[in-house]
Amino acid sequence: MNFNKTLFFIVFLLLGPKLKAQTFRLKRPVPENVQVYGNYLYGEERFWDANNAHRGIDMLISYDTVYSASNGTVAFVGYNPNNKTGGFEPNGFGNYIRIKSKWNNKDIYIYYAHLTKPIVSVNKNITQGEPIAISGNTGNSTGPHLHFEIRENTYLWNANRTRRNPELWFAKNGMGAIYGNVPNAPDNTRINISPDPKPRPPYTTFVWAETYKFSDPTISGDDIYNENYAIGDVKPGTYTITALNGNYKRIVTVKAGEVVNADATTLVERNQISEKFILLQNYPNPFNPTTTIQYTVPVAVKTLHATSQLVKLIVYDALGKKVASLVDKQQVPGNYKITFDAKELAGGVYFYQLLLNNIIETKKMILAK
Ligand SMILES: [Zn+2]
């Protein structure tokens, strides 16, 4: 790879405004010593209803003060159980508060559920950090906790793709968060992270992540992050994230207060991925009967998202007849190495061609038999 181009690209990645880590949008609604229950994540399969997902996060809190995470207006206070009042909240929130707020010029609705006692009333204007309730165990709850949920654009409980993962909206002081998108991952694919990213105390269990259960139509990634997994309350440091038996692997560095894209950061860490689609000369060449072909799938520079792209690597004989298809699948940006075995073919000149979107690169190789 051309060193100057690579260097330029690294500098671009480091300075490019799109890559700049995002920051948190809200303030943590409960005291700093309260943990998020790591075994019941946003987008995880709902333990009492396998067709749906957990649409918020749970914070283990024992009858303590809940503070507003945002500025806004109180839109609802009270019970609204089990479809008896028009079907707004058929999900056992118990005693809850809904606060209407704004983010990025959009309406967002923040839910504080299972409360013992709300201490604000409808239509009150709320300042971020203001006490609004005492948490509790009302509704469909197996122990005292705060269920915190964010909906965007509408508060209707069954509206499509309205939920957002609160773990990317706030954190404990001094912590960051990581998000990413594992291409083609089934819902609820386990995401491992090492070393252990969580501050202890207050966390007591090891925390991993899962890709979201998008088969629940209310679940969504973020407007900006477009993630399918997230890890919140991450201690500053460098982490390795893996999924799908290591087929997805990212190395990411997080600082306090940052929300970091694992897929983009990896590009800096690896510092090998080009902005250009590169097909290298095979080696050895001439060959008999195997040779290695290397190529690079570039990052989409406009978004800096390491989204997968359809890649094809095809071998043709000298007459243009297709003799082998070596790659035909979605691949994330990165460097790839393919072994071509030509033991069934006659000696002579062959061409290998790489296709990605509307880019085509072709090179010649010689099978010497
Ligand atoms: Zn919950």
What is the CA(146)–ligand 1 centre distance, in A?
7
> Is residue 8 included in any domain, yes or no?
no
**In this structure, which amino acid lies at residue 89?**
E
Q: Do 133 and 50 reside in the same domain of the chain?
A: yes
| Residue linked to tokens 């709902």 | 46
User: What pLDDT does residue 197 have?
Assistant: 95
Q: Do 146 and 198 reside in the same domain of the chain?
A: yes
For residue 319, the domain's CATH number is: 2.60.40.1930
pLDDT at 300 over 60: no
Q: Do 287 and 247 reside in the same domain of the chain?
A: no
Boundary residue ending a domain (224, 241, 269): 269
- Domains held by the chain: number: 2
User: What pLDDT does residue 356 have?
Assistant: 81
What is the CA(54)–ligand 1 centre distance, in A?
6
**In this structure, which amino acid lies at residue 137?**
N
Q: Are strands 237-243 and 248-254 parallel, antiparallel or unpaired?
A: antiparallel
> Is residue 5 included in any domain, yes or no?
no
Q: Do 151 and 257 reside in the same domain of the chain?
A: yes
Boundary residue ending a domain (226, 248, 269): 269
Per residue in 137-189, pLDDT (tens digit) is 998 888 899 999 999 999 988 899 999 999 999 999 999 999 999 998 999 99
pLDDT at 6 over 50: no
Alpha-carbon distances, residue 65 vs 28, 68, 137, 199, 245 (angstroms): 12, 10, 13, 22, 42
> Is residue 168 included in any domain, yes or no?
yes
What is the CA(141)–ligand 1 centre distance, in A?
8
User: What pLDDT does residue 307 have?
Assistant: 62
Q: Do 67 and 159 reside in the same domain of the chain?
A: yes
> Is residue 2 included in any domain, yes or no?
no
Exposed/middle/buried for 28, CB within 10 Å: 0-12, 13-18, 19+? Answer: buried
- Residues with CB in 5 Å of ion ligand 1: 58, 147
Q: Are strands 176-180 and 258-261 parallel, antiparallel or unpaired?
A: parallel
For the CA atoms of 254, 257, 262, 265, the dihedral, rounded to the nearest 10 degrees, stands at -60
User: What pLDDT does residue 157 have?
Assistant: 86
Q: Do 79 and 169 reside in the same domain of the chain?
A: yes
Q: Do 247 and 306 reside in the same domain of the chain?
A: no
- Running DSSP on this structure, what letter comes out for residue 246? G
Q: Do 316 and 188 reside in the same domain of the chain?
A: no
Q: Do 322 and 264 reside in the same domain of the chain?
A: no
Chain-centre distance for alpha carbon 174: 21
Per residue in 68-92, pLDDT (tens digit) is 999 999 999 998 754 444 445 656 8
- Mean pLDDT score, 264-271: 48
Confidence of residue 225 (pLDDT cuts 50, 70, 90): very high
3-state secondary structure of 5: helix
**pTM of this structure:** 0.69
User: What pLDDT does residue 301 have?
Assistant: 43
Chain-centre distance for alpha carbon 293: 31
pLDDT at 18 over 80: no
User: What pLDDT does residue 91 have?
Assistant: 60
What is the CA(70)–ligand 1 centre distance, in A?
19
What is the CA(140)–ligand 1 centre distance, in A?
9
Domain span including residue 174: 13-269
- Running DSSP on this structure, what letter comes out for residue 244? G
pLDDT at 31 over 50: yes
Q: Do 79 and 128 reside in the same domain of the chain?
A: yes
pLDDT at 355 over 60: yes
What is the CA(109)–ligand 1 centre distance, in A?
16
Cα angle, residue 277 at apex, residues 273 and 280 outer, rounded to 5°: 90
Q: Do 317 and 262 reside in the same domain of the chain?
A: no
What is the CA(4)–ligand 1 centre distance, in A?
50
pLDDT at 133 over 70: yes
pLDDT at 201 over 70: yes
Q: Do 177 and 315 reside in the same domain of the chain?
A: no
Closest CA to 30 of 106, 144, 194: 144
For residue 122, the domain's CATH number is: 2.70.70.10
**In this structure, which amino acid lies at residue 38?**
G
Boundary residue ending a domain (269, 288, 313): 269
> Is residue 330 included in any domain, yes or no?
yes
What is the CA(56)–ligand 1 centre distance, in A?
6
- Mean pLDDT score, 58-62: 89
For 49, other C-beta atoms within 10 Å of its C-beta total 11
- Mean pLDDT score, 130-141: 93
> Which one is predicted more confidently, 13 or 65?
65
**In this structure, which amino acid lies at residue 150?**
I
pLDDT at 358 over 70: no
Cα gap 168→260, rounded to integer Å: 9
> Is residue 154 included in any domain, yes or no?
yes
> Is residue 3 included in any domain, yes or no?
no
Residue 118 phi, psi (nearest 5) = -70, 145
